């Protein structure tokens, strides 16, 4: 440990395919040898997912070069901050799961006192990470988005992390994008259903494209395949329209976009930015800057740790 790195926090990121844990220093760097992951997924039982969480927590703490001062958790949602429970859309077996209580039991390690444990939506953690050390640093009104297997996001407004009434502010992937669907109230017409990597692949296949993965789509986009180009532009246009709506409502200065599918083409961010400008009715919304997120795959863990390190911008959880 160095003087610059100082204190350490246990960071946990629980998603639909994996759970990760690591020890993060106060400068946002991940302590070497402490990052561990284990599978989750819709095909696993509640007990199996619990075992995965317990496994990565134990390994990260065992490898920690310093005692941790707290625990930050980012989870797929919806979440309930008042109760510390989660109900992930893609993991029905975890609905009502007391994630905070489960983690608390596994980090006590004989301590006489309980460590502070802070839970937030995973997209909220990514927004906090990018605001702290990433592309949105120094910007008080901003949003971060992930376009990957799903679509998620988080919001910073007036320099404060926005959690909302229950902790679920930022679920931009579940917005309806009317111009693309024409049907309201159907989950198959949300931004996530229109713009995520797997859904873009399925749409391209329905148009006669012969590929099977996002990587295939990226290759064929670069080669100029008409359907691949249409699929990528369709995703970017839907994301841009959602950003225009969010920026109109929240008066955002900048949106940072990350996630695996955001790298499907070299110009994906530029396509999103152009679509956001075209979809905005009001000048201030059209002025929103759209950039690539800076922290990559580290952002969920950095953001989870920032829930403790940057408590000054994180509102307390509501009382149960």
Considering the domain architecture, whether residues 73 and 163 belong to the same structural domain is answered as no
Q: What is the pLDDT of residue 41?
A: 87
Q: What is the dihedral of CA 52, 56, 57, 60, to 10 degrees?
A: 180
Give the pLDDT confidence score for residue 3 in this predicted structure.
Answer: 40
Regions of the chain where pLDDT drops below 50: 1, 3, 110, 112, 182-185
Answer whether residue 23 is part of any domain: yes
Upstream peptide bond of 78 is cis (omega within 30 degrees of 0) = yes
Read off the tokens for 79: 């979440």
Note whether residue 207 is domain-resident: yes
Assess whether 155 and 117 both reside in one domain: no
HSE toward the beta carbon, residue 171, CA cutoff 13 A: 19
Q: Provide φ and ψ at 131, rounded to 5°.
A: -75, -30
Domain assignment of residue 97, yes or no: yes
Residue 70 has a pLDDT of 95
* CA–CA separation, 48 and 229 (whole Å): 40
pLDDT score recorded for residue 49: 96
Give the CATH number, domain containing residue 265.
3.30.420.40
160 shares its domain with 173? yes
Give bridge partners of residue 80 from the DSSP assignment: 85
* 133: in domain: no
Q: 113 with 251, same domain? A: no
Task: State the total domains in the chain.
Answer: 2
Q: Are residues 180 and 34 in the same domain?
A: no
Q: What's the confidence (pLDDT) of residue 5?
A: 65
Asked, for residue 165, whether it belongs to a domain, the answer is yes
**164 shares a domain with 286:** yes
pLDDT score at 137: 97
Q: What confidence score (pLDDT) does residue 184 get? A: 45
Same domain, yes or no, for 290 and 303?
no
Domain with 166, as residue range(s), is: 138-294
CA–CA separation, 38 vs 56, rounded Å? 7
145 and 224 both lie in a single domain: yes
Nearest to 152 by CA among 144, 160, 141: 144
């Amino acid at each position: 440990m160095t003087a610059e790195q100082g204190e350490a926090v246990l960071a946990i990121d629980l998603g639909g395919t994996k759970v990760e844990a690591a020890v993060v220093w106060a400068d946002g760097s991940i302590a070497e040898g402490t990052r561990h992951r284990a599978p989750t997924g819709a095909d696993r039982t509640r007990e199996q997912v619990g075992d995965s969480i317990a496994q990565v927590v134990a390994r990260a703490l065992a490898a920690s070069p310093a005692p941790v001062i707290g625990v930050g958790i980012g989870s797929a949602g919806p979440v309930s901050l008042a109760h510390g429970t989660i109900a992930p859309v893609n993991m029905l077996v975890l609905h009502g799961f007391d994630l905070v209580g489960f983690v608390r039991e596994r980090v006590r390690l004989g301590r006489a006192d309980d460590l502070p444990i802070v839970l937030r939506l995973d997209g909220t953690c990514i927004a906090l990470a990018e605001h702290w050390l990433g592309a949105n640093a120094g910007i008080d009104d901003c949003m971060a988005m992930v376009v990957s297997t799903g679509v998620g996001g988080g919001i910073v407004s007036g320099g404060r992390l926005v959690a909302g009434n229950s902790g679920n502010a930022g679920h931009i992937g579940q917005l309806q994008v009317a111009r693309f669907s024409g049907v309201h109230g159907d989950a198959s017409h949300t931004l996530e259903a229109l713009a995520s990597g797997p859904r873009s692949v399925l749409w391209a296949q329905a148009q006669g494209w012969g590929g099977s993965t996002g990587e295939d789509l990226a290759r064929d986009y670069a080669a100029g395949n008409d359907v691949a180009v249409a699929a990528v532009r369709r995703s970017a246009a839907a994301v841009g329209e959602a950003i225009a709506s969010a920026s109109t409502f929240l008066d955002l200065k900048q949106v940072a976009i990350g996630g695996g599918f955001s790298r499907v083409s070299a110009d994906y961010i530029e396509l999103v930015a152009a679509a956001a400008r075209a979809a905005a009715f009001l000048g201030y919304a059209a002025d929103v800057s759209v950039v690539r997120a800076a922290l990559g795959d580290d952002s969920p863990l950095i953001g989870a740790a920032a829930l403790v390190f940057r408590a000054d911008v994180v509102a307390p959880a509501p009382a149960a």
